[in-house]
Amino acid sequence: MTDFDPAFRADVLAGLATPIKAIPARWFYDLRGSELFEAITQAPEYYPTRVEAALLSRVAAEIAALTGPGRAVVEFGSGSSAKTPLLLRAVAPAAYVPIDISGDFLRQSAHALGTDFPWLNVIPVEADFMVGVTLPPTVADMPKLGFFPGSTIGNMVAATAVDLLRSFKATLGVGAQLLIGVDRIKDAGVLTAAYNDAGGVTADFNMNLLHRINAELGGNIPVDAFRHRAIWNDRMSRIEMHLEAVRAVDFSVDGRAFAMAAGETIHTENSHKYGLRDARLLLRAGGWGLLAEWTDADGQFAILLAEAEAPRFAP
Ligand code: AVJ
């Protein structure tokens, strides 16, 4: 058992003990998982990263005109920060605070960014942004711009997404701005292909969770008895990823025994897709007022800029 994380253990044991098995998607992102996600973004079928990056570079100057220079850019779940240079170059911030759960990955990326932006004060924070984050004191008095690209908001069910938006507001403060990427509802074939790439990278990403459980939590899950499944749930407007047992299996994790029937799944991720009105409503529910929104020519992806509203009387 290397790198034992009590929160990982608690989530896995609880998630496997319920009648419908589920493990939070955030546990995908160990170093290997983060690398596999980067590989997904290179898969031809996985359009969101490419489309969002192209959209961001097209509208970066418009964004900069609305944000102004001198802000502290706070990125939630920065990963490899691949889209960040586009934003940083345009908005000329006073500081950049990448927040990520994967510390090794965070430090690697922050270091790489430092060489491209020698003038920028980069202050990485290793934290789970789902739990309220306290910003470093250096940026306390700077105006803030939250950055939450990649449609990561889609990984949460609506109630959790709203909680998260409220927590961003608590972290960044009233008057702060938030730039958020949202993947839009589109043809189901395009959506399912994006999560079932022919190269099998998404499958590896999903299956890596089982390897991680075995390695870190003393599990003996027979990984070859599972397969990757990604389906479009139209009613819930989301792609669901599952790990499906292809035969009946018994295994243990940290000394606890579990059994799964053939065809039973562990639900590992939701990726909700939104209409523009849905996205605006979600922001409003989280206390953020829309300032501007942009979408690509094919309407695949949206970027929204919002402002943390002061509480006020409303009829
Ligand atoms: C990291 C939330 C953008 O939901 O599309 C990609 C992760 N999962 N392929 C997404 C993911 C499977 C992803 N985000």
- Residue pLDDT, tens place only, 187-220: 999 999 999 999 999 999 999 999 999 999 999 9
Residues contacting ligand 1 via CB (< 6 Å):
40, 48, 150-152, 154-155, 195, 202, 269, 271
Question: Using one digit for the tens of pLDDT, what is the confidence trace for 141-170?
Answer: 999 999 999 999 999 999 999 999 999 999
Distance (angstroms) between ligand 1 centre and the Cα of 315 equals 39
d(CA 101, CA 131): 11
Report CA torsion sign: 126, 268, 47, 39. positive
> Could you tell me the two tokens for 234?
């139209």
Q: How far is CA 6 from CA 26, 125, 266, in A?
A: 14, 20, 20
> Ligand 1, atom 1: nearest CA belongs to which residue?
152
Distance (angstroms) between ligand 1 centre and the Cα of 95 equals 27
Residue 292 pLDDT level (bands cut at 50, 70, 90): very high
> Ligand 1, atom 4: nearest CA belongs to which residue?
271
- pLDDT (mean) for 267-293: 98
Distance (angstroms) between ligand 1 centre and the Cα of 88 equals 23
> Ligand 1, atom 2: nearest CA belongs to which residue?
152
Question: Using one digit for the tens of pLDDT, what is the confidence trace for 106-138?
Answer: 888 888 888 889 999 999 999 888 888 999 999
Residue 282 pLDDT level (bands cut at 50, 70, 90): very high
d(CA 59, CA 72): 20
Residue 245 reports pLDDT greater than 70 = yes
Torsions phi, psi for 64 (to 5 deg): -60, -35
Atom of ligand 1 nearest to the CA of 41: 6
Residue 80 pLDDT level (bands cut at 50, 70, 90): low
Which of 26, 38, 75, 155 for mutating ligand 1's site (highest number of atoms within 8 Å of CB)?
A: 155
d(CA 4, CA 126): 17
Whether 14 contacts 189, CB under 8 Å: no
Distance (angstroms) between ligand 1 centre and the Cα of 118 equals 31
> Could you tell me the two tokens for 309?
């509203």
> Ligand 1, atom 5: nearest CA belongs to which residue?
271
What pLDDT score was predicted for residue 1?
46
> Ligand 1, atom 11: nearest CA belongs to which residue?
37
Distance (angstroms) between ligand 1 centre and the Cα of 255 equals 31
Q: What is the pTM of this model?
A: 0.94
Which of 269, 273, 300, 301 for mutating ligand 1's site (highest number of atoms within 8 Å of CB)?
A: 269
Distance (angstroms) between ligand 1 centre and the Cα of 152 equals 7
> Ligand 1, atom 10: nearest CA belongs to which residue?
271
What pLDDT score was predicted for residue 3?
58
> Ligand 1, atom 13: nearest CA belongs to which residue?
152
Residue 81 pLDDT level (bands cut at 50, 70, 90): low
Helix 31-40 to helix 103-116 angle (10° resolution) is 60
Question: Using one digit for the tens of pLDDT, what is the confidence trace for 15-65?
Answer: 999 999 999 999 998 889 989 999 999 999 999 999 999 999 999 999 999
Residue 75 reports pLDDT greater than 90 = yes
Percent of the chain residues past pLDDT 70, beyond the cut = 98
Which of 26, 29, 37 for mutating ligand 1's site (highest number of atoms within 8 Å of CB)?
A: 37
Distance (angstroms) between ligand 1 centre and the Cα of 91 equals 26
